[in-house]
Amino acid sequence: MDEDPELVQNNINYRITQSQTELENYNYYKAKKNLDEALELAENAGKKKSLGIIYAVKGRLELILEEEDKAIKSLNKAIEIQRIINDNANLGSSYKTFGDVYLAKKDYYSALDSYTAAKSKFEEEDLNEELAETLLQEGKTYSELKNYKKARDVVEQSLAISKKYDYLKTQSEALINHAKIYNKLGNDEKALEVALAGLQIAKTNRFTNTLNEGYAVISDLYHNLEEYKLSRDYLQTHLNLSDSIRSLTRINSSRNQETQFRLNEEIEKNKEVVQKLEKAEDDKNLGTLISILSVALITILSLLTLSLYKNNNIRLKTNNMLHKKNGELIIAKEKAELASKTKANFLSTVTHELRTPLYAVTGLSNMLLDENPRPEQVQHLKSLKFSGDYLLTFINDILQINKIEANKVDVEPESFNLKKKINNIILALNNQALDNNVKIHFEYDQDLPENFIADQLKISQILINLVGNSIKFTKDGDIWIRVYKIEEEGKTYTLRFEVEDNGIGISQEKQDHMFESFSQGSIQINRKYGGTGLGLSIVKGLIDILKGKIYVKSELEKGTTFYFEIPLEHTTIEEAKENKVAYFEGNKEDIDLSKVKILVVEDNKINQMITKKILTKMELHCDIVDNGEAAVESIKANDYNIILMDIHMPGISGIEATKRVRSFDKELTIFALTAVTIEDKMHEFEEAGFTDIIPKPFKQEEFEKKLYNALAGKNKASSTSA
């Protein structure tokens, strides 16, 4: 009568659980016995999942017994089964144990590969405790490779997960290992702080091995800090605990003797069998011997054939699975690329459609404010202007996030004066700070050079976001900006930037998500202080692009400190090049505006009216056409000084119209007056032959200055030729 499958499975599970318990209690002989019994039951019942688990536990037992080669064989069997049945959770554990085996064999790079595979599986299955343990082992491996900075980062990740989910054992081990890393990095004070924290957790929860390791580490740290009495006390405690652990080792030795005794019994039994066979050989004739050998040979060949058949089946199944997964990955990749392209096209379209009416909102509000509105209307117009500016900032932030996520942001290094750059940022934000009664302090390390090569625009944007954020959440307080060197290798300096305030602070819960898009402190904070919740996400994205890292330290009602580290290349260039807006600095009275003719090419009636009104206010005359074909014909028939060309129009686009104009007039000043994203179209604009670009909606004063500069340049050129 067949046994109940559920009963068989329960029996297997019981033996696996028992073996794991015995393993934790150092009863290796009993653990092995339970595993062997479970293995026989699982093989007879065809329980694939249980077989994978049993081989994985066997691998762990063999690792403890320092039988690494046997462990590798057992783990290979476990992984082979778990891959076929898609047992991802246990597959991750097998990879993790594989990493531990390679770590024991000092094959550190193979260990890192195994830990990476394990992390992938644990992340897929949301197994955070196993992920934290794997990260800790990965950190230990980087320490063995003497890559202490990487080790610190990885152990910090393990620590963060352990703290979040209260995994005390991993947390205490991570803190002790963190202390070792800080010691290697030369920061014994910090090392002692984290080691004591780890020791306290281990002591409270009686994690004996971690506790023993912690005593030894703290003793060494106190010795380094010349606290010799404390060092001696911790060393004595470590030695006493080591004696207790050694007593367990002695017990283990007796158990090893038990194992050896059992092995000797089996050897004696085998000897008896051999003697009987030898005696049988003497008694039997040659024919009987040949028959036995024939049967043995047939049996061996049958087993070999069966083995080859099974291996072939497994190989075929594996190949089929790989082909299937490969096909699924290709389809998923194509879907992701299509979704990304659709998203980019959608954002591009929405951007243009939003910027066009925003041009009307900001343009009309600016003009109405300049036309002596009634006192009761001024506040309404200012609110309208503020709303338009806010919407424009929001659109620009969304576009930048989209570009960062799509990896379309290029790094453009150039030489610049870092100290001067930060001073300029402070000057630009100072009025905003004064409105909140905030004082900005700037500390620049006096031993730090000032000239560097890096992407100064991205560094400026990071600092403007962080300082602006501090100003927004600080009233009647102070902000400190600090810059200093933390590492130097050749010409590359790793600098740390700090932005500290004594504002409202951020709760620990919100700190975990603050670099995500659309993340705000709370609904109340959003309503009180405003903002899109994209600034810090942009900052994080830009710092990642610059190969840096950002951290935050904050306490409610006490303030916040953001600090980020980025590499910059030092240069000996005395003065760095600065990008400056070409504002008009001459006298517009020197320009004969009565003879200036401007053509506005714009299909939107409201935008036509706004642009014409701005030009009229500047005492400039303009003609208007609403499509590209009409623009080309009008330019051929008239002598215009400046063309303001929209891009998206019915018929041919502004880009195509400009190309046609350049075929017969290379010198005419043509501005692209456009609502499209400039960065994405810059190459097209340059190829088409535009003189310059004025993005919509624009600031009226910048628009006027660009026009006056162009007119002044033409006036100067005509005077020279005369």
248 is a domain residue: no
Q: How far apart are CA 530 and CA 591, in angstroms?
A: 44
For the chain, give the longest Cα–Cα distance: 131
Average pLDDT over residues 428-440: 88
CA distance 705 to 586: 10
Nearest CA to 183 out of 137, 226, 148 is that of: 148
For residue 643, what is the enclosing H or E element?
Answer: strand 642-645
Mean pLDDT throughout 509-532? 54
- Residue where one domain finishes, among candidates 100, 126, 152: 126
Read off the pLDDT of residues 588-613 as tens digits, 9 standing for 90 and up. Answer: 566 777 788 899 998 888 888 888 88
Instruction: Count CA atoms closer than 13 A to 389's CA, side-chain side.
Output: 12
Residues 422 and 387 in one domain: no
Q: In this structure, is the dihedral angle defined by the CA atoms of residues 466, 471, 475 and 477, taken in order, positive or negative?
A: positive
Q: Which residues of 22-43 are buried (b: 16+ CB within 10 A; e: fewer)?
A: bbeeebbbbbbbbbebbbebbe
Residues 306 and 444 in one domain: no
Token pair listed for 455: 């992407």
Burial of 430 (0-12, 13-18, 19+ CB in 10 A): middle
Determine how many CB atoms are found less than 10 A away from the CB of residue 56: 27
Question: Are residues 511 and 426 both part of a single domain?
Answer: yes
**Which residue would you say has higher pLDDT here, 592 or 352?**
592
Q: Is the model more confident about 431 or about 501?
A: 501
Residues 62-113 pLDDT 10s = 888 888 888 888 888 888 888 888 888 888 888 899 899 999 888 888 888 8
pLDDT at 481: 95
Residue 245 within any structural domain of the chain: no
User: How many CB atoms neighbour CB 387 within 10 A?
Assistant: 14
Under the banding of pLDDT at 50, 70 and 90, the label for residue 689 is confident
Is pLDDT of 556 > 80?
yes
For residue 632, the model assigns a pLDDT of 93
Q: How far apart are CA 722 and CA 713, in angstroms?
A: 14
Residue 484 lies in a domain: yes
Question: Taking the CB of residue 462, how many other CB atoms lie within 10 A of it?
Answer: 25
pLDDT of residue 444: 94
Query: How far is 527 from 309, CA to CA, in rounded Å?
Result: 70
Distance CA 106, CA 104 (A): 5
CA distance 187 to 329: 46
Pair 431, 393 in one domain: no
Where residue 273 falls among pLDDT bands split at 50, 70, 90?
very low
Q: Could you tell me if 164 and 194 are in contact, meaning their C-beta atoms sit under 8 angstroms apart?
A: no
Among the listed residues 712, 669, 456, 676, the one whose alpha carbon sits nearest the alpha carbon of residue 583: 712
Q: Which of residues 284 and 47 earns the better pLDDT score?
A: 47
> What are the beta bridge partners of residue 651?
none
pLDDT of residue 239: 78
d(CA 436, CA 472): 8
Asked whether 454 and 566 are in contact (CB, 8 A), the reply is yes
Q: Between vectors from CA 62 to CA 57 and to CA 65, what angle results, nearest 5°?
A: 130
Q: Indicate whether 324 pLDDT > 90.
A: no
> What's the chain's average pLDDT?
79
Q: Is the pLDDT of residue 284 over 60?
A: no
Confidence of residue 59 (pLDDT cuts 50, 70, 90): confident
Assigned token pair, 567: 């590499």
The answer to whether the Cα torsion of 113, 116, 122, 127 is positive or negative is positive
Q: Round to whole Å and give the CA distance between 455 and 345.
A: 28
Residue 126, phi-psi category: left (phi > 0), alpha (psi -120 to 50), beta (remainder): left
Tallying the residues shown for the chain, one arrives at 722
Domain stop point among 83, 111, 126: 126
Question: What single-letter DSSP state applies at residue 447?
Answer: T
Q: Counting Cβ atoms within 10 Å, is residue 465 exposed (0-12), middle (13-18) or buried (19+)?
A: buried
**Are 566 and 604 in the same domain?**
no
CA 68 to chain centre: 35
Residue 377 and residue 517 share a domain: no
Does residue 460 sit in the same domain as residue 483? yes
Q: Say whether both 422 and 563 belong to one domain.
A: yes
Q: 427 burial class (0-12, 13-18, 19+ CB within 10 angstroms)?
A: exposed
Dig out the tokens for 471 from the structure. 């100003």
Report d(CA 430, CA 339) in Å as an integer.
43
Q: Domains in the chain: how many in total? A: 4
Does residue 341 lie in a domain region? yes
Residue 168 lies in a domain: no
Query: 250 burial class (0-12, 13-18, 19+ CB within 10 angstroms)?
Result: exposed
Whether the predicted pLDDT of 562 surpasses 80? yes
Helix axes 108-124, 128-144, angle to 10 degrees: 160
Residue 267 binned pLDDT confidence (cut-offs 50, 70, 90): very low
Q: The CATH number of the domain where 713 resides is what?
A: 3.40.50.2300
**pLDDT > 70? residue 530:** no
| Tens of pLDDT, residues 615-630 | 888 788 899 998 999 9
- Contact between 178 and 152 under an 8 Å Cβ cutoff? The reply is yes
pLDDT of 57 strictly over 70: yes
595 and 566 co-located in one domain: no
Higher pLDDT, 428 or 662: 662
User: For 406-534, where are the alpha helices, taking DSSP H only?
Assistant: 418-435, 456-472, 508-511, 523-529
Q: CATH number for the domain including 432? A: 3.30.565.10
Q: Does pTM surpass 0.85?
A: no
**Cross-strand partners of 487:** 494
Domain with residue 304: its CATH number is 1.10.287.130
Q: Strand, helix or coil at 553?
A: strand
Q: How confident is the model over 395-406, as a mean pLDDT?
A: 69
Distance CA 375, CA 664 (A): 52
What single-letter DSSP state applies at residue 410? Answer: P
Least confident of 318-332, 453-467, 579-593: 579-593
pLDDT tens column, 157-195: 998 998 988 999 999 998 999 889 988 888 888 888 888
* Domain CATH number, residue 100: 1.25.40.10
Let me know if residue 711 belongs to a domain: yes
Decide if 31 is inside a domain.
yes
Which pairing describes strands 559-570 and 492-501: parallel, antiparallel, or unpaired? Answer: antiparallel
Per-residue pLDDT band for 484 (boundaries 50, 70, 90) equals: very high
Distance CA 441, CA 430 (A): 11
Distances (CA, A) of 460 to 323, 373, 417, 439, 477: 49, 37, 12, 20, 23
- Same domain membership, residue 457 and residue 563: yes
Domain boundary among 408, 440, 468: 408
The tokens describing 600, both together, are 């506005």
- CA atoms 298, 301, 307, 311: torsion sign: negative
Q: Are residues 653 and 634 in the same domain?
A: yes
In this structure, are residues 566 and 547 in contact, taking their beta carbons and an 8 Å threshold?
yes
What is the model's pLDDT at position 337? 65
Indicate the pLDDT class of residue 212, thresholds 50, 70 and 90: confident
From 416, 706, 458, select the one nearest 574 (Cα to Cα): 416
Residue 290: give the domain boundaries. 284-408
Dist CA 141 CA 110 (whole Å): 10
For β-strands 669-674 and 642-645, DSSP reports them as parallel
DSSP 651: S
Residue 152 lies in a domain: no
Whether the pLDDT of residue 526 is over 70: the answer is no
How many Å apart are CA 653 and CA 660, to the nearest integer? 11
Q: Quick one: which of 101, 160, 104, 87 has its CA closest to 128?
A: 160
Interval 241-259 mean pLDDT: 54
DSSP string, 21-41: HHHHTT-HHHHHHHHHHHHHH
Higher pLDDT, 302 or 376: 376
Are 646 and 603 in contact, with CB atoms under 8 Å apart? Answer: yes
Most confident range, picked from 250-259, 359-368, 409-418:
409-418
Main-chain dihedrals φ then ψ at residue 85, nearest 5 degrees: -95, 5
Asked which of 150-164, 359-373, 643-657 is least confident by mean pLDDT, the reply is: 359-373
Q: 623 and 519 share a domain?
A: no
Phi, psi of 678 (to 5 degrees): -60, -45
